[in-house]
Amino acid sequence: MSRTKKVGSTGRFGPRYGSKLRRRVLDIETKRRAPHKCPKCQTAAVYRIAAGIWKCRKCGNVFTGGAYIPVTPSGKMASRTISTEND
């Protein structure tokens, strides 16, 4: 078995592509695989169907979001702006 304690899932690349790019890929993959909460039922059961399309395992809610995380920082800011304008 290869030693991947530091490099995690990017150990599959070996010494190729440079450390900075492999670190960036590791960061993206850990964020994508982390448990995310559903915006409808608040259960940590959301998984990615495709880039930007997410689905909740519990309630079946399908929604759009970021490519690697369901809610992007700019999406949060936009929803905050919309909710304050409606009040």
Is 0.85 surpassed by the pTM of this model?
A: no
Q: What is the model's pLDDT at position 2?
A: 59
Same domain, 52 and 30: no
Same domain, 67 and 42: yes
What are the angstrom distances between the C-alpha of 10 and each of 24, 25, 42, 67, 73?
10, 7, 31, 19, 25
Same domain, 29 and 63: no
Residue 79 reports pLDDT greater than 90 = no
Mean pLDDT of 22-39: 93
% the chain with pLDDT above 70:
93
The predicted-structure confidence for 32-64, as pLDDT tens digits, reads as follows: 999 999 999 999 999 999 999 999 999 999 999
Residue 72 is part of which domain span?
35-87
Give the integer Cα–Cα distance in Å for 79 and 87: 13
